[in-house]
Structure 1
Amino acid sequence: MNIQAVPTGLLLLSCISVHDETPTIKTFRLRAKSGPLSFVPGQALVLKVPAPNGPLWRSFTISGGDSGDLHLTIKAQARGGATRWLHDNLRRGDTLEARPPRGSFTLALRHNGKLAFVSGGSGATPMMAMLRHLAATEPKVDVAWFHAARAPEETLFASGLTELQRRMPRLSVAMTVTQPSPGWFGYRGRIRRALLAAALPDFGRREVFCCGPAGFMQEARLIHAAEGGDKTQFHTESFGADAPVIIPPTPERAGTDGPAHRLKVNGRDLQIRPAETVLQASLRQGVVIPCGCGEGMCGTCMVRLVSGDVDARPNGGLTAEEAEQGYILACSSRAVSNVEISLE
């Protein structure tokens, strides 16, 4: 599994250790061959996972880091997916390729002094990274964390949270499970308004950072609004490691919307229809561009624009520096002339 050559812009990461968090969740400590890595708590790392049927590019939120290393806390999902491959195969000393840390789901969005972290399952990972940062920089900040898990044994970071509560006197933690076991004294059931009202009575007055399954986040958003919350103070991370990416099909009669253009991908000549994104056109004609979210947020589908012009509309997944260097996001870019891109 060791990789000898890494394309420009990618990192080569070595697995330093693997730690079991729960029966289904592991934390992988990764170190870049090029030297210490920096990240902003809440950001994600896009890994190239060498699965048997071809590489899978997936985004994993960084759960923490120290001494220039990064920690990824990952729950194993269905067999055949990236998370299951990592659990079954990644060991100390192995190497993986990755894109540098990226993402806008960070405390830079914050405007309110009172915070609520709301997470479901492995959505706890960005919250833990943020909380560790706050413990080091603002230990007296008012933070309420509500976490939902399937069962008590799947609740994440229990010992770490106990330690952080010693250092953060205004940190409160509430947990709910849908399959409680004997001896469980926390909340029970799925996220709902009555449950959040009991756990976080002032939920509507807090600025919320929310991460978890799509339905979980939507329910939390609706509850926050119903409690009088400001919708501009509800932030979500909306892509996940094994979440299926649905690329909208191109309309069959898209040719009536304007001229088609030529699209060259790594020397291969394709056609791009007026309504298509670069990603849609490539996939339709058998050229696979790695994609994580399909919404311009995660940066997985970043490609280099060699020539031509595009209507590029990144949604936080592309930095200003990357744009200046000629990179675009295939999922949110449409051609306005003949275009050539490079996947390297």
Structure 2
Amino acid sequence: MWLEGGSMHKRKTQGAVMIIAGFSLAMVALTVVCLSFGGTNIPFRETLLSLVGQNEEASDLIIIQFRLPRILAAILIGAALAVAGAVLQGVIRNPLASPDLLGVTGGASVAVVAFMTLLTGYSIHWIPAIAVAGAFLTALINYVLAWKKGISPFRLVLIGIGISTAMGALTMFLLISGPAYLAAQVLNWMTGSIYGTNWSYIEVLWPWVAIFIPLSFLYAKELNVQSLGESTAVGLGSRLQLSRMILLFYSVALAGAAVGVAGMISFIGLLAPHMARRLVGHSYKLIIPLSAVLGAMILLLADLAGRMLFLPLDIPAGVFTAGIGAPFFMYLLFKRNAAR
């Protein structure tokens, strides 16, 4: 029996790894599609030649200087938000948790808008750090307000929604009271847009993603232990509170850095982990990498839709993620209430 159980677990793990590999290949194919289509459609052959440095056509400039930074930003931001959401859901043990619903992205947004409106001549290299600081402060406020002889996951979400609303109001106040010439730029950023992303933004974003996604993956075993419940986790030797604080910091860092570059892109941190959990089960060693891939694909598709569906307009990707994510959140909320 033990051998049969071990063999079945091995087959399930191999199947999950194949799913992750399949979606990773699909993401690569989607990346080529996104590079090829836009205001000017470019043949796939020229796109592939540009990626290997062999395209001598005029399209090489469009692909390398304009589209590739935008596509890479979508991949990095989508992956960061998705992993941030997966980690939050694991720490809080609440499937409704995501950085935007807990007010984390709202706090990052306030910090960045304050930085942009109050300081002129700023360097974009500061923006991710400022966003992470605002996100961390908001997460701390949420945690303190939700504490009542312990943390209720449902109370944490409700307070997070309230804080998110308050952060939105504060952001608008800062916007109105700031310089008028910055209003259009800040409003476009607030809707969740990667339009105009260049290589400088990739330079400041990729270190955050390259550091904190692997660190989150290294704590996947700890997330699996915590999912068994507090008493069981402590019984198995987990340093529960320390691990939670570390994981929350990783999640906040990823969400804050993503918001600092792209603004308020909502619900990826809710959608991607749910999809991953349905596809590969409840092990965070599988959920975290698949969430990263799915989050990247969701944002790539949202950005492609924004570029192609309403030509010549370029609709922010955040509009599409919110349009999909908000009904999905309501579905989860009603499903949770019906199960009680």
Same-fold call, TM cutoff 0.5: no
More strand as a share of residues: 1
More helix as a share of residues: 2
TM-score range, shorter chain: under 0.3
